[in-house]
Amino acid sequence: MLVETTDVADRKRAEALLAAEKQLLEMVARGHSMSEILDAICQLVETTASGCYCSVVLVDPSGTRLEHGAAPSLPVSFDDGRRTSGAQWPWRMG
């Protein structure tokens, strides 16, 4: 009985992830902004991994500065992207 319950739960989780992936791909195809897409990705991560928060920090085209990408559930004071926005990225520091 336990195996069947786990199989059903795993299947439902897989179906939910596929539905979310489809939604994200539709957002891309319909031309939603990168900000909206990154927020949706963060919300998916937070929903899938309960009890966590998600943020995205981008590297600028020069590869030397960090920029805010998304952090829909974090207050500004906790948002690493906003605190480090425009900061030099020391490549040697991992």
- Give this prediction's pTM: 0.74
Mean pLDDT (the chain, rounded): 83
pLDDT in tens, 8-41: 888 998 999 999 999 999 999 999 999 999 999 9
CA angle 75, 29, 46 (to 5 degrees): 30
Whether 82 contacts 68, CB under 8 Å: yes
Whether 55 contacts 75, CB under 8 Å: no
Residues 6+ apart with CB under 8 A from 18: none
Give residue 25's domain range.
2-93
In whole angstroms, how far apart are CA 42 and each of 8, 10, 63, 71? 25, 21, 23, 7
Say how many domains are in the chain. Answer: 1
